[in-house]
């Protein structure tokens, strides 16, 4: 691949969080640093980060505040946009693995699902490709639901679509089969791609969450 390939990055925020940074000291992650370290032959044209707002919970009342600080940090990166989906909470009946003898095998539970990110990623990936916004697209995800738009971009437009996979232990076979290439995101890359602890934007200075 030629050097300085114009490249757009599409980040599945929750997939990246749960596969790579949850439970680590690397949550204060600078996506631009990560991308440039893993893609030295690419020129990063834009980064689109897909997520949804989380709410405070009784067992974690500060999670919303931490997320807002992180999104604020991301907005200090030039040419980065954040696209929001939403959470859907519903009451559903689900079967117990080992119900107590004589009781119903089903219980009513509250189920919370993040909705919209995979559709939003596919939409932006396809729109930008057909509008000629990139020579290469890179997905940061391990979600095989994105195989079809990858196939369309590669077959119909002849463009490169790579994957930076946040789950190096269990990478999606389907993504690996259909992407132009797939690279693992390892702990060393995360460690070397952190924001400074204190950042500044138009509203002033702010700090990395103390628990991170």
CATH of the domain at 35: 3.40.50.1010
Pairing outcome for strands 160-165 and 136-140: parallel
- Please check whether residue 212 lies inside any domain of the structure: no
Number of domains forming the structure of the chain: 1
Unique residue bearing structure tokens 């995360």: 190
Q: Is the pLDDT of residue 8 over 80?
A: yes
- Please check whether residue 66 lies inside any domain of the structure: yes
Rounded to whole angstroms, how far apart are CA atoms 129 and 126?
5
Quick one: which of 36, 37, 48, 43 has its CA closest to 10? 48
Mean pLDDT of the chain: 91
Cα-only R_g, the chain: 19
Rounded to whole angstroms, how far apart are CA atoms 137 and 45?
10
Structural domain harbouring 66:
5-207
pTM of the model: 0.87
Band (pLDDT 50/70/90 cuts) for residue 97 is: confident
- Please check whether residue 43 lies inside any domain of the structure: yes
């Amino acid at each position: 691949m030629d050097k300085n390939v114009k490249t757009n990055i599409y980040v599945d925020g929750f997939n990246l969080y749960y596969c790579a940074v949850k439970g680590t000291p690397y949550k204060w992650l600078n996506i631009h640093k990560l991308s440039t370290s893993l893609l030295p032959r690419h020129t990063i044209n834009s980064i689109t980060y897909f997520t949804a707002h989380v709410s405070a919970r009784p067992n974690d009342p500060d999670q919303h505040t931490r997320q807002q600080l992180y999104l604020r940090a991301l907005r200090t990166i030039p040419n980065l946009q954040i696209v929001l989906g939403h959470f859907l909470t519903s009451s559903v009946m689900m079967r117990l693995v080992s119900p107590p003898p004589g009781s119903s095998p089903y219980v009513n539970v509250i189920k919370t699902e993040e909705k919209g990110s995979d559709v939003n990623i596919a939409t932006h990936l396809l729109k930008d490709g057909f509008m000629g916004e990139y020579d290469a697209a890179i997905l940061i995800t391990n979600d095989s639901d994105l195989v079809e738009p990858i196939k369309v971009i590669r077959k119909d437009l002849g463009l490169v679509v790579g994957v930076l996979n946040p789950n190096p232990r269990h990478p999606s076979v389907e993504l690996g089969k259909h992407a132009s290439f797939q690279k693992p995101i390892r702990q060393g890359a995360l460690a070397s791609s952190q924001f400074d602890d204190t950042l500044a934007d138009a509203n002033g200075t702010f700090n990395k969450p103390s628990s991170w």
